[in-house]
């Protein structure tokens, strides 16, 4: 399979992304020498990693933006026939301890969402994976209002975590940003703050963008 050089600058990244619009996943997979899974049950990250590869993202499991040199995070987003998101969007792992002094401005959520290249992909399960088409990419930088919503949710959730109430936070907290389990399964454990300030073990959590928020981003283009 051909290796793809990372884009040198933002226009180059955008050009590559725009060239994929309208193309289906089987076509991209064939170029990369990959086989297409029959469904995503056991390949949940397949689409995202395929697009990463095609755009020349730096492979790695670092908690940073995909195109660090460009200040861009890449997100594929499954959409229905009307262009609405089918899933929430994972942002990053939530810190559950050692969070004294942590502010919104230096949080991982804030850094990752500073600039996102959204790549919509047809995601309805009735469409065979290989036939799903890539949509028009959207380079998004949060507006001041969006930043305010994100910061407010983040601060409320982090406050509860700091108070040792992580187990009381559900996905219903937050208007645009939510906290949900993010682990291999419900038995996975990590350290978190207990009510008395000591450490206890809890299921790891991650921050996710709710569908309505992502939909409003996509709607700017698709109406």
Partner DNA sequence: GGGTGATCATAC
Partner DNA sequence: GTATGATCACCC
**Interface residues toward DNA, by CB under 7 A:** 39-45, 47-49, 51-52, 60-64, 66, 73-78, 86-90, 92-93, 108, 121, 123, 125, 170-172, 178, 180-191, 203-204, 206, 210-211
Instruction: Tell me how far, at minimum, the Cβ of 184 lies from DNA, in Å.
Output: 5
Query: Among residues 134 and 142, whose Cβ is nearest to DNA?
Result: 134
User: What Rg value do the Cα atoms of the chain yield, rounded?
Assistant: 18
Query: Among residues 62 and 145, whose Cβ is nearest to DNA?
Result: 62
Instruction: Tell me how far, at minimum, the Cβ of 144 lies from DNA, in Å.
Output: 25
Judged by DSSP in three states, 144 sits in helix
Instruction: Tell me how far, at minimum, the Cβ of 146 lies from DNA, in Å.
Output: 19
Task: Determine the Cα–Cα distance for residues 33 and 29; give it in Å rounded to an integer.
Answer: 6
Burial class (CB within 10 angstroms; exposed 0-12, middle 13-18, buried 19+) of 211 = middle
Task: Determine the Cα–Cα distance for residues 4 and 16; give it in Å rounded to an integer.
Answer: 11
Query: Among residues 30 and 201, whose Cβ is nearest to DNA?
Result: 201
Question: Pick from 35, 55, 192: which is nearest to 134 by CA?
Answer: 55
Query: Among residues 151 and 214, whose Cβ is nearest to DNA?
Result: 214
């Amino acid at each position: 399979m051909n290796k793809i050089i990372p884009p040198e600058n933002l226009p180059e990244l955008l050009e590559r992304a725009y060239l994929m619009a309208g193309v289906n996943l089987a076509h991209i997979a064939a170029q990369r020498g990959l086989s297409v899974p029959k469904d995503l049950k056991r390949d949940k990250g397949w689409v995202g990693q395929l697009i990463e590869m095609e755009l020349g993202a730096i492979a790695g499991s670092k908690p940073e933006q995909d195109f660090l040199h460009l200040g861009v995070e890449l997100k594929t987003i499954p959409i229905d026939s009307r262009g609405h998101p089918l899933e929430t969007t994972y942002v990053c792992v939530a810190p559950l301890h050692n969070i004294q002094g942590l502010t919104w401005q230096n949080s991982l959520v804030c850094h990752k969402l500073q600039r996102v290249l959204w790549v919509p992909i047809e995601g309805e399960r009735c469409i065979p994976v290989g036939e799903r088409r890539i949509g028009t990419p959207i380079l998004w930088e949060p507006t001041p209002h969006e930043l305010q919503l994100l910061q407010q949710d983040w601060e409320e959730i982090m406050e509860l975590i700091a108070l040792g109430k992580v187990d009381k936070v559900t996905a219903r907290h937050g208007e645009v940003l939510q906290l949900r389990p993010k682990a291999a399964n419900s038995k996975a454990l990590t350290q978190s703050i207990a009510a008395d300030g000591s450490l206890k073990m809890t299921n790891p959590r991650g921050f996710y963008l709710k569908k309505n928020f992502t939909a409003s981003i996509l709607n700017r283009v698709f109406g």
